[in-house]
Amino acid sequence: MSKRIVIADDHLPVLASVGAAVAATGATVVARARSPDEVFAALRELPCDLLVCDYAMPVDAQVDGIEMVHRVRTQWPDLPVIMLTTMSNGVLLRALLAQGVRGLIDKAAPALELNAAIRAVDQGEIVVSPSFADAIDEWAGHMDDLVLRREIAQMFERGRSADEIASMLTLPSSCIERHARAFDVAGAGAQGSSDPKRASRS
C-alpha cells in the first residue's frame, strides 16, 4: 500500500507505535504532528492520503477535540481520518462518525487493530473498535457525562453558538442550551470533578 499518511499524537511513545503500525501496512509516514496546529500545517504543506490522529492534544487557545475534527473535515473533506482515543462518551463518538471520521480506534487496543483499520479504511470501510460499540449504541445515557460537558463548555468559550454546537454534535439545540444554563448556575465556584473543564479526555 503506497499511501502517504500524517500521524498525530502528543505522546512520543504513542506516535512511535502508530508509525510502526503505518510502516507495517507498507504506507509512508510523511509527517508527525504533536498538536492541532501542527496537523493543519502538515495537511496544508504535504500531499496526504490518510490522517491518523489523536482526539485530544495540547492546545494554545485554538481548537481541540470535536472542533479540530470539524475543521479537518471542512478544509479537507475528501481526506479519510482515523481517530485514536480512550474516550468512551457515546455522544462524541457518534458525532465523530457523523463528521465523516472513517475509523474510531481505542488507544488501548493492540497495534494490530490499528494496522487492520488502516488497511480497511483504505478499502473504503468504516471501522470502529469493538470496545466502543456499547458506548455508541447507548449514547443517550452519556448526555450529562463530564467529558461531554467539558467539550460543550470549551465550544462556548471559543464563541460557538448553541445552534453551531448542536450541529457539530448532532444534538438538539435545546440540549445544548440546557448545558449552557447548567454552566451559568455552576459559575466560577465549581470544584473538582463537578467542573466540566476538569474532566479528562484523550
Tens digit of each residue's pLDDT (9 = 90 or more) over 150-187: 899 889 988 899 999 999 999 999 999 888 887 775 55
**Distance in angstroms (rounded) separating the CA atoms of residues 177 and 145:** 16
**Exposure string for 15-42, b = 16+ CB within 10 A, e = fewer:** bebbbebbeebebebbbbbbbbbbbbeb
Give the pLDDT score at 30.
97
Q: How confident is the model at residue 61 (pLDDT cuts 50, 70, 90)?
A: low
Whether the per-residue pLDDT at 48 is higher than 50: the answer is yes
How far apart CA 135 and CA 62 sit, in angstroms, is 28
**Residue 25 — very low, low, confident or very high, per pLDDT cuts 50/70/90?**
very high
All residues at 6 or more sequence positions from 156 whose CB lies less than 8 Å from its CB, including other chains: 165, 180, 183
Q: Please, what is the Cα angle at 75 between 162 and 137, to 5 degrees? A: 55
